[in-house]
C-alpha cells in the first residue's frame, strides 16, 4: 500500500551505531516512503565518494536533512530516515512527528560488542566506505546504546535486531542462485574479452558458493588471459580439490606452474594428468621439459620419447617440439650420438613440413 | 530527498503488517549482506570466512571524520 493510502502517516527511523548494518539490512528506500539517507547525500555531494568529505558537503546535507523532516512532519507525509541516535535531533523529531499524528517506528540494529562494529567499519572503509577510527566507533556505539532507553519511550514501536553475526555461509537456495547469477555474468564478460570484469564476477560467485567448480575453472582461465599465472595456479589448485578426477584441471594447474617456472609443482601436476590420461602427449612433453629444467634429463628422456610416440598416434608428425627437448636432454646427458640423431630427425621433419609433405599427411 | 514507490504491499501503519515487513525485509537484507561481503571478497579485502584478508589499514590520505560530524 502506498504511503498516501495510510490513514496516519508513518515516521520510520532505522538506527544503530556505525557498522550495525543499517544501510544493508534496512535501507530506508525499501520502506517505499520518501526517504533521506544523510551519508548517501553527503557522498552525492562529494562526487559519489564517502571518503574525504568536505565540511561544506556535510553542512549542506545536514540542512537538507532537517528541512526534509520538517516538511514531511508539517505536511503529514510518511518518511524514513537513518540515524545512529547519538544526537538528540532524532528523538526531538520523533516527538514532534508524534504530536502531529504520526505513527513513529524505530528499527534498531545492535551488535553484541563494539569490536564487531569496529571490524565492519574497517572492512567497509577498505571497500570505499567512510573512514572512522576505532575510538570514534566505540564512542558512537556507547552514545547510541545510551539513547535506546529514551527512544523506547518516544517511539510508538521499537524493533531491535541483533546483527552481531554474519549470515551463515551455506549453499541455501538464494545464495546458490546468486552465485549462479554471478557465474553467468562472468561467463558473458569472459566471452566478450572483459577479463577483469569476469574475474570480479567469478570471485563473487565463489564467495557465495565455494563449491562452484565452473567458477573456479573460468576464474583460472581469466587469470591466464590476464597473464596472472600466480593467481591462476592458486585457483586451479583449489579446483583440483573439487575435481580430483579431472585431468584437464591438473593440466591447467601444471601449465600455470610451468609459466611461473615452478617446475617441481608443475611436474607433480603433469604426473597427475598422466595418472588419469597416460597418453596425453602435451602432459608427457611438459613433464619432460620440467625434468630438463630441474637438471634431471635422465628422467626427461622416457617422457619425451612417449610424447613423440603419442603425437605420432595423434597424427601430429609435423610437431618437432618433443624431439627438440629430447635432443636437449641428450646433450645434457652428453649422449652426443643420440642427440645428433634426434637433431637430424628434427631437420627431416622441418624439411618435410617445408615441402608440404606433412601438410599432406595431416 | 526522493520519493519511492514501495515494491511491497505491506501497510506500515498497521502493527501486524509492520512486523511482517520487518521480517521480510530482514531476509532480503541478509542476502544484501552476502552480496556486500562478496564485493569485499572480490576486492581482496576479506577472505571466504569474512575475516580481513590482510592487515590492511584505512588510507592515511583520507583522515577519519570526527565523531561529532559522523553523529546524526
Q: Which CATH number does the domain housing residue A122 bear?
A: 3.40.50.300
Is A145 part of the contact surface with chain B (CB cutoff 8 Å)?
A: no
For residues A251 and A125, membership in a common domain is answered with no
Distance from CA of A255 to the nearest CA of B (A): 24
For residues A151 and A72, membership in a common domain is answered with yes
For residues A14 and A110, membership in a common domain is answered with yes
User: Is residue A134 domain-resident?
Assistant: yes
User: Is residue A145 domain-resident?
Assistant: yes
In the Cβ-directed half-sphere of A243, how many Cα atoms lie within 13 Å?
20
For residues A158 and A11, membership in a common domain is answered with yes
* pLDDT at residue A337, as a whole number: 81
Q: 3-state DSSP call for residue A142?
A: helix
Residue A272 C-alpha cell reads as 597427475
Distance of alpha carbon A345 from alpha carbon A146, whole angstroms: 86
For residues A215 and A154, membership in a common domain is answered with no
User: Is residue A361 domain-resident?
Assistant: no
Residue A359 C-alpha cell reads as 601438410
Residue range A221-251, pLDDT digits in tens: 999 999 999 889 989 998 999 999 999 999 9
User: Is residue A360 domain-resident?
Assistant: no
Distance of alpha carbon A152 from alpha carbon A157, whole angstroms: 8
What's the gap between Cα A158 and its chain centre?
36
Q: Please give the tally of structural domains in chain A.
A: 4
Subunit contact B3:A136, Cβ cutoff 8 A? no
User: Is residue A1 domain-resident?
Assistant: no
Helices (H), chain A: 22-25, 38-44, 55-74, 89-99, 114-126, 134-154, 173-191, 195-208, 213-225, 229-242, 247-259, 263-276, 281-293, 297-313, 321-332, 336-354, 357-361
For residues A209 and A351, membership in a common domain is answered with no
For residues A148 and A173, membership in a common domain is answered with no
User: Is residue A31 domain-resident?
Assistant: yes
Subunit contact A1:B3, Cβ cutoff 8 A? no
Distance of alpha carbon A129 from alpha carbon A116, whole angstroms: 16
Residue with more model confidence, A13 or A302: A13
Task: Residue B32: name the closest of A29, A22, A24 by CA.
Answer: A24
Average pLDDT over residues A58-85: 94
Residue range A246-282, pLDDT digits in tens: 999 999 999 999 999 999 999 999 999 999 999 898 8
For the ranges A176-180, A230-234, B29-33, the one whose mean pLDDT is highest:
A230-234
For residues A74 and A141, membership in a common domain is answered with yes
SS3 content of chain B, % helix, strand, coil (to 5): 45, 5, 50
User: Is residue A86 domain-resident?
Assistant: yes
Cβ contacts (< 8 Å) between B55 and chain A: which residues? none
Nearest-Cα residue of chain A relative to residue B47: A207
pLDDT band, very low/low/confident/very high, at B4 (cuts 50, 70, 90) = low
For residues A146 and A32, membership in a common domain is answered with yes
User: Is residue A346 domain-resident?
Assistant: yes
Rg (CA), chain A: 32
Q: Which of residues 63-122 of A touch B (CB under 8 A)?
A: 64-65, 68, 78, 83-84, 86-87, 89-90, 103, 105, 107, 119, 122
**Phi, psi for A222 (deg, rounded to 5):** -65, -40
Task: Residue A235: name the closest of A223, A247, A248, A243 by CA.
Answer: A223
Distance from CA of A105 to the nearest CA of B (A): 9
Distance of alpha carbon A282 from alpha carbon A290, whole angstroms: 12
The helix (H) or strand (E) run that includes residue B29 is helix B15-42
For residues A216 and A344, membership in a common domain is answered with no
Subunit contact B33:A166, Cβ cutoff 8 A? yes
Residue with more model confidence, A325 or A69: A69
Subunit contact B45:A123, Cβ cutoff 8 A? yes
Q: Which domain holds residue A329?
A: 279-355
Residue with more model confidence, A166 or A161: A161
For residues A15 and A149, membership in a common domain is answered with yes
* pLDDT at residue A318, as a whole number: 67
Q: Which of residues 8-67 of B touch A (CB under 8 A)?
A: 8-13, 15, 18-19, 22, 25-26, 28-43, 45-46, 48-50, 52, 56-59, 61-67
Model pTM? 0.59
For residues A171 and A253, membership in a common domain is answered with no
Prediction ipTM score: 0.73
Average pLDDT over residues A170-196: 84
Long-range pairs for A301-308: beta carbons < 8 A, 24 or more residues apart: A301/A326, A301/A329, A301/A330, A301/A333, A304/A329, A306/A279, A307/A281, A307/A282
Nearest-Cα residue of chain B relative to residue A61: B1
CATH number of the domain to which A201 belongs: 1.25.40.10
Select from A109, A136, A162 the last residue of a domain: A162
The helix (H) or strand (E) run that includes residue A12 is strand A10-16
Cβ contacts (< 8 Å) between A207 and chain B: which residues? 37-38, 41-42, 48
Residue A122 C-alpha cell reads as 574497517
Amino acid at each position: 500500500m502506498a504511503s498516501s493510502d495510510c490513514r496516519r502517516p508513518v515516521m520510520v527511523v532505522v538506527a544503530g551505531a556505525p557498522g550495525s548494518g543499517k544501510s544493508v539490512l534496512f535501507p530506508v528506500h525499501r520502506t517505499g516512503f520518501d526517504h533521506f539517507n544523510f551519508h548517501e547525500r553527503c557522498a552525492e555531494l562529494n562526487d559519489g565518494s564517502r571518503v574525504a568529505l568536505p565540511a561544506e558537503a556535510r553542512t549542506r546535507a545536514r540542512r537538507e536533512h532537517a528541512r526534509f523532516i520538517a516538511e514531511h512532519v508539517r505536511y503529514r507525509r510518511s518518511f524514513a530516515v537513518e540515524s545512529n541516535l547519538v544526537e538528540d535531533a532524532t528523538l526531538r523529531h520523533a516527538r514532534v512527528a508524534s504530536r502531529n499524528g504520526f505513527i513513529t517506528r524505530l528499527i534498531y540494529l545492535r551488535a553484541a560488542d563494539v569490536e564487531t562494529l569496529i571490524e565492519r567499519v574497517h572492512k567497509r572503509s577498505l571497500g570505499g566506505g567512510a573512514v572512522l577510527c576505532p575510538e570514534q566507533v566505540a564512542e558512537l556505539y556507547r552514545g547510541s546504546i545510551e539513547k535506546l532507553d529514551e527512544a523506547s519511550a518516544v517511539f510508538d514501536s521499537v524493533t531491535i535486531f541483533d546483527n552481531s553475526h554474519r549470515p551463515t555461509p551455506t549453499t541455501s537456495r538464494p545464495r546458490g542462485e546468486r552465485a549462479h547469477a554471478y557465474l553467468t555474468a562472468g561467463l558473458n564478460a569472459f566471452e566478450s574479452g572483459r577479463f577483469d570484469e569476469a574475474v570480479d564476477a567469478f570471485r563473487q560467485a565463489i564467495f557465495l558458493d565455494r563449491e562452484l567448480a565452473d567458477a573456479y575453472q573460468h576464474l583460472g582461465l581469466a587469470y591466464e588471459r590476464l597473464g596472472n599465472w600466480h593467481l591462476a595456479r592458486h585457483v586451479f589448485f583449489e579446483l583440483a580439490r573439487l575435481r580430483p578426477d579431472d585431468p584437464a584441471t591438473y593440466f591447467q594447474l601444471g601449465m600455470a606452474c610451468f609459466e611461473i617456472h615452478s617446475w617441481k609443482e608443475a611436474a607433480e601436476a603433469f604426473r597427475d594428468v598422466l595418472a588419469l590420461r597416460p597418453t596425453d602427449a602435451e602432459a608427457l612433453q611438459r613433464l619432460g621439459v620440467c625434468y630438463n629444467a630441474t637438471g634431471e634429463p635422465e628422467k626427461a628422456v622416457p617422457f619425451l620419447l612417449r610424447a613423440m610416440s603419442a603425437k605420432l598416434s595423434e597424427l601430429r608428425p609435423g610437431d618437432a617440439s618433443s624431439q627438440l627437448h629430447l635432443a636437449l636432454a641428450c646433450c645434457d646427458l652428453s649422449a652426443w650420438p643420440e642427440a645428433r640423431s634426434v637433431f637430424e630427425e628434427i631437420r627431416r621433419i622441418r624439411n618435410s613440413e617445408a615441402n608440404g609433405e606433412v601438410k599432406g599427411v595431416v | 530527498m526522493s520519493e519511492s514507490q514501495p515494491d511491497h504491499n505491506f501497510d506500515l501503519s498497521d502493527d501486524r503488517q509492520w512486523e511482517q515487513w520487518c521480517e521480510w525485509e530482514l531476509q532480503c537484507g541478509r542476502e544484501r549482506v552476502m552480496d556486500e561481503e562478496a564485493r569485499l571478497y572480490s576486492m581482496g579485502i576479506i577472505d571466504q570466512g569474512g575475516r580481513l584478508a590482510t592487515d590492511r589499514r584505512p588510507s592515511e590520505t583520507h583522515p577519519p571524520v570526527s565523531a561529532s560530524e559522523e553523529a546524526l
